[in-house]
Chains A and B, each alone.
Chain A
Amino acid sequence: MKTNKSQLVEIKLSKNNLEVPIADGVLLHSIYDPIREAHKFTTQNAPIISKNTKFLIFGSGYGYHINAIINKLKESKINDFEIYVIEPNVELFNKYSSSKQMLNDKRIVYLVGKTPNQLYKIDEFVDFLLAKPAVLPHTASFNLNEQYFTEFLTYNAPNCLGDYIENIHDSGLKDYLKQFPIDIQLKEISNKLSKVAKDEYVVEDFILLAFNELQKTSRLL
């Protein structure tokens, strides 16, 4: 998957004198009043914003919608929020980050110019996704990068041992898994362990056998 790095970005001024980016000829915010447009965006999404503290935003644009969300949260006296913004266009982000619109807030994390595969390798981001954030697509950015965001949403992680063995934290388990072919899946290793007898079982065998049994208990949740 490639990001849309090649999009041409130019900046225009809106009727009320605010900077508005145009990427590949597409206006990312209202050319009349981007702040009013962002306010409308938060009003439409008010039920979602009021019930969540974690947000995943597709597209940074020039941040008008992000600032509006933060204002909405501040109105509700919510300060412990966390926002991740995915922006595929590096050039757009560079311009945005040097603009007045960019808020310097530690609660906002920007993931810029990364492929879905790279995004899903970031531990903090995966932890964030597991907390089930509310997803808020910035419509203009989403439409412009529809293929990118669709691939992010329908991403299937490569799941052969060789694809992730280096991400296994436990060194003992990592060494143990190295004995298997790289194109094998974990499920195949666990099934074989359950069904085919070995002369001697090591600690990692018992970890995988327990892990395999745990998978079967999903009906109990």
Chain B
Amino acid sequence: MKKTLIINLRCFGDIMSTSNLIKNLKGNDPTQQIYILTMSEYQKITDLMKGVEKSFTIDRQQILTLSHKKIYNDSRSLNSFLMNLLPINEIYWDNIINYSNDKIGTYICSYLKSNNTTAKIFGLHYDKHKNLVSSSLWSEIFNEVLTSYKHTPFHFVDLYNNISEVAPDENFWKIPKTLEKNDIITRRNFEQIRKHYTINGSAPKIIGIQLTASSIEKQIEPNEISCLINKILDNPEIYPVILIAPNKKEKEIAEKLSKEFDNSLVIVEADLNAIPSVIKQLDILATPDTLIKHIGDLFETPTVEVSRGSSPFLKQGTCNPNNYILSSQFSTRYSSHISENKISSNDIYQCILALVDNKNEKKISLSPGISLYRSLRDDLGINYKFITGVNEIDHELSRQISRQYLNTLVTKEISIKLTSQILEYKTSDIKIWINSQINQLTQCTKALLSTIRDLKQAQTNSKSGERFVHSLDRLISFADMSLLCSIPVALFRGRVDSFQSPKKEEIEKLSYELKNDLQTAVKFLKCLEESVLSIEKETLTNKYSRIVENTITDFSRR
């Protein structure tokens, strides 16, 4: 029986999202035993997850207390840390998945690998020379490209599947555990609401509104929540319930809100044990919170995600087909000097109506500066279709086309599929985008050739070293420009950085690999251009055929 350890040292939402990978791992091999290592403060989340044989924890709070208090010497914290690692080091692992890919997780993988040399590591670990080893190109893409490339070509869930070499399994079991007692209470309460507000035999759909998020910047603004509740209450087809956690802060906010509605609001106070039962039985969920969103996804509850603040744009978006994501337009999400546009109650309300009846989608009209996306599945996994609002062509084309370019890099076969998401744009716009990317690729290639030249000179003349460093810096600056050429340069940068102390020969070898990748990018863009031209030609031919056909018909009628 295979034993797999998933190391995930991130927070609530990320840990809950691991359920997608566990589901697929179990779907691919139901006999394998899955274990998970998290920080102890998140154990409540792993307790909710199905398919986990056992969860191990690092008691960060205790270790740091022992470290920081001067009354204890360092042996205490070190012993405590080792005591946490001991049980995972005693198990013979077949696979270790470095899910969080942070430094602690990566060092722990290296520690486990040192003692268990046959274990296969997915993701990052260090070898005995402390060079960073990526298990696959997908792992490099996750760590080097998605950390700097802003257009989010792939969803994290797909990347984790690809890194762990598992195929998605859509039909495997639902994941979060629910307690029967909580299921019964929720069902009874929701049935009462439905019964009480039934008009002409038609029961309203229950809309759960998550009141808060992990940070204020991510929350829906209080006045917008009040307006949203009013709008829902005015519509007999839907009924709002407010979701809060049982803590003082959220209770106070809920009480204040409830007073505005003469204490008539239904407020569902649910802890981590109870919230899955609630979300499972909602008809629609509207949430700015990542943990709640992930639970909604796992139960396939139709969801409107309000994506605000520093949360990664689309990287971990709600992923069930037909769910909506409302976001301030892309260019404001990453800007430090432009403030985010406000998502209004009306924006959220219209999305809720579209989830009630998809015909309403066409009627959606958003506040200024807001964009709406709908999740879907394509050949490469989870994708997002731009629906309405601010349409930033460069961003949308970059997102969709880089997705295919990355696939080309992995499969080593240039394949272009002009998806409906790309063909939504005029061929003239696509051609402008291609030309601009080719121009940047040319600049990037020039920077690369200068780097190679300066590197060669530096090998024979030590004084040229400074010039080489300067040209290498210039080349690497392309990695953060979010252009198509940024992708191979980001991979190159990661590969150079993965060496503890890279030698000139190694940099030279990597430079030639980058040259190949840039040439592939050019070929990819040329191939894309040809496809666009053939579409243009086809459209033109069809247009002329139709004109000729119509003319002949007119002529024969005469």
Contact = CB atoms under 8 A, between A and B. Distances in A.
A206 B107 contact: yes
B70 A156 contact: yes
Nearest to A186: B74
B154 interface: no
B501 A126 contact: no
A156 B111 CA distance: 32
Nearest to B107: A210
Nearest to A189: B74
B114 interface: yes
Interface in B211-229: none
Contacts of B110: 201, 206
Contacts of A205: 130
A129 B74 CA distance: 16
Contacts of B74: 159, 164, 185-187
Contacts, number: 107
Contact of A155 (B71, B81, B103, B129): B71
A168 interface: yes
5 contacts: A157-B70, A173-B82, A186-B74, A203-B115, A210-B104
A117 to B, nearest CB: 10
Contacts of A159: 70, 73-74
A200 B500 CA distance: 11
A155 to B, nearest CB: 5
A21 to B, nearest CB: 29
A217 B81 CA distance: 14
A170 B81 CA distance: 11
B82 A170 contact: yes
B470 interface: no
A24 interface: no
A167 B75 contact: yes
A214 B82 contact: no
Contacts of B263: none
Contacts of B75: 164-165, 167-168
A206 B72 CA distance: 23
A199 interface: yes
Contacts of B126: 201, 206
Counting chain A CB atoms within 10 Å of each CB, the highest count among B71, B83, B115 belongs to B71
Interface in A145-203: 155-159, 163-165, 167-170, 173, 185-187, 197-203
B120 interface: no
Given A168-B79, A203-B114, A218 B68 contact: yes
Nearest to A202: B114
Interface in A113-156: 120, 126, 129-130, 155-156
Contacts of B62: 130
A186 B78 contact: yes
A130 B66 contact: yes
A186 B66 CA distance: 14
A11 interface: no
B107 A213 contact: yes
B63 interface: yes
A26 interface: no
A52 B62 CA distance: 19
B65 interface: yes
Contact of B73 (A163, A187, A218): A163
Interface residues of B, number: 41
Contacts of B130: 197-198, 201, 205
A157 B71 contact: yes
Contacts of B501: 197
A170 B84 CA distance: 12
Contacts of A1: none
Contact of B104 (A186, A187, A214): A214
Contacts of A200: 128-129
Contact of A214 (B41, B63, B70, B114): B63
Contacts of B115: 203
A78 interface: no
A209 interface: yes
B85 A157 contact: no
A108 to B, nearest CB: 23
Interface in B39-91: 41, 58, 60-68, 70-79, 81-83, 85
B73 A197 contact: no
A81 interface: no
A170 B114 CA distance: 16
Given A197-B501, A206-B111, A221-B60, A211 B71 contact: no
Given A168-B79, A186-B78, 20 more contacts: A120-B72, A130-B62, A156-B71, A157-B70, A157-B71, A169-B79, A169-B83, A206-B107, A206-B111, A209-B107, A210-B81, A211-B78, A214-B64, A214-B104, A215-B64, A215-B67, A217-B64, A220-B11, A221-B41, A221-B61
B103 A213 contact: yes
Counting chain A CB atoms within 10 Å of each CB, the highest count among B77, B85, B111, B501 belongs to B111
A207 interface: yes
B82 A207 contact: yes
B58 A214 contact: yes
A126 B66 CA distance: 9
B108 interface: yes
Contact of B72 (A126, A186, A198, A215): A126
A42 B108 CA distance: 49
Contacts of A173: 78, 82
Contacts of A155: 70-71
Contacts of B129: 199-201
Interface string A98-118: 000000000000000000000
Contact of A217 (B68, B76, B77, B104): B104
A168 B63 CA distance: 14
Top 10 nearest A-B pairs (CB, nearest first) are: A210-B107, A164-B75, A203-B114, A167-B75, A206-B111, A157-B73, A164-B73, A186-B74, A206-B110, A213-B103
A49 to B, nearest CB: 24
Interface string B95-109: 000000011100110
Contacts of B108: 206, 210
B454 to A, nearest CB: 24
Contacts of A156: 70-71
Contacts of B73: 120, 157-159, 163-164, 167
Nearest to A159: B73
